[in-house]
Structure 1
Amino acid sequence: MQFSSKEDIEAPIETVFAALSEFEAFERSAIRRGIEVQRANEAGVIGAGMAWEAAFDLRGKPRKLHLELCEFDAPNGMRFESESFGLAGTLTIDLVALSPKRTRMATVLNLAPKSLSSRLFLQSLKLAKANLTKRFKIKVADFAKSIETGKPRRI
């Protein structure tokens, strides 16, 4: 299952990449939402190889998630890979400078099952794909707009 979105942002590519690279702010945002987040490597090193362990409740069951930053190509983009209860995910964020003060951000989230239960879970998500796609695009657009205003909000 794939979700994707493209947004044009009125900001230089370096500014957009810097907002996307504020991992500590994303960690704090997840913690405020009740997700237990722990960085799996040294907190000071930013780049490929960074990893996080997260624990949260989904549909009334405790879940664990392993998230790893696999590619970190400043200022062009990054790629994350995740593994959670038999579900593999890949999040790719690509940035393209359209002009010195305008950047296009392309975001693609792929989810793939690795077990029968995760296949059933994805099947249930497919029934609501239109609604989920709309919500995904709205969240990405809100984040892009917040970068333009200079006050990045966390997704």
Structure 2
Amino acid sequence: MNFSSTEDIDAPIAEVFQSISDFESLERTALRRGIDVQRMGDVEHPEKGLAWEIEFQFRAKKRTLHLTLGTYEPVTQIVLSGTGSGTDGALEIDLLALSPQRTRLSVTLSLEPKTLSGRLLVQSLKLAKTKLNRGFKKRVSEFAKQTEDRLSRTA
């Protein structure tokens, strides 16, 4: 099961990458949403095996997720892979410079069931795919808008 979204941001690619790779800020955002996040590794050197243990409530059930930074290519790509609750997944974030002051953000999330409970979870998500896809696109759009606003204030 896949979700994807693309947004254009009025900011240079290096600044957008710095914003999406600000892992401490993203962890604080998750904590504010009631998600328990434990980081393993050094944020100063993310390419050396940064990982997270994440616990959250989803559909009235406590879920755990082990998230690992798989690919970290400064200025162009970040790929996170995760496993938990009977599913494996990957989040791929790609940046493309459209001009010196404009960047295209492409985000793709893929989920693959590994157990029977994972299949049931993914199947139930497929039934609500239209609504979930709309929500995914909205979140990416909000993130792009917040990033653009934050970067325009500091310029």
* TM-score class, shorter: over 0.9
Residues 70 and 80 in structure 1, CA contact (< 8 A), matched pair in contact too: yes
Aligned length: 152
Report the counterpart of residue 107 of structure 2 in structure 1.
107
Supply the distance in 2 between the matched residues of 1:42 and 1:102 (Cα, whole angstroms).
30
Which consecutive segments of 4 or more residues in structure 1 shift more than 3 A? none
* Unaligned segments of structure 1, at least 5 residues: none
More divergent stretch after superposition (5-14 vs 26-35): 26-35
Where do 1:60-71 residues align within 5 Å? Answer: 60-71=60-71
Report the counterpart of residue 38 of structure 1 in structure 2.
38
Supply the distance in 2 between the matched residues of 1:106 and 1:38 (Cα, whole angstroms).
26
Supply the distance in 2 between the matched residues of 1:30 and 1:130 (Cα, whole angstroms).
24
Report the counterpart of residue 77 of structure 1 in structure 2.
77
Q: Does 1:148 align with 2:148?
A: yes
Supply the distance in 2 between the matched residues of 1:13 and 1:43 (Cα, whole angstroms).
20
- 1:126 Cα shift? 0.7
Residues 23 and 43 in structure 2, CA contact (< 8 A), matched pair in contact too: no
- 1:43 Cα shift? 4.5
Report the counterpart of residue 119 of structure 1 in structure 2.
119
* Unaligned segments of structure 2, at least 5 residues: none
Q: Does 1:87 align with 2:81?
A: no
- 1:42 Cα shift? 3.3
Residues 46 and 69 in structure 2, CA contact (< 8 A), matched pair in contact too: no
Measured against aligned partners, the alpha-carbon deviations of 1:43-79 in whole angstroms (never above 9, x if no partner) come to 5432251100011222222221100010000100110
Q: 1:17 to 1:41 in 2, by over 3 A?
A: same
Residues 87 and 114 in structure 1, CA contact (< 8 A), matched pair in contact too: yes
Report the counterpart of residue 97 of structure 1 in structure 2.
97
Letter in 1 for 2:96: V
Q: Does 1:7 align with 2:17?
A: no
Aligned residue for 1:75, secondary structure, equals coil
Report the counterpart of residue 130 of structure 1 in structure 2.
130
Query: TM-score, length-normalised on structure 2?
Result: 0.93
Query: TM-score, length-normalised on structure 1?
Result: 0.93
Letter in 2 for 1:145: K
Instruction: Determine which structure has the larger helix proportion and give its number.
Output: 2
Aligned-residue CA RMSD (Å):
1.5
Supply the distance in 1 between the matched residues of 2:37 and 2:76 (Cα, whole angstroms).
26
- Identical aligned pairs, as a percentage? 48
Supply the distance in 2 between the matched residues of 1:7 and 1:60 (Cα, whole angstroms).
32
More divergent stretch after superposition (42-51 vs 67-76): 42-51
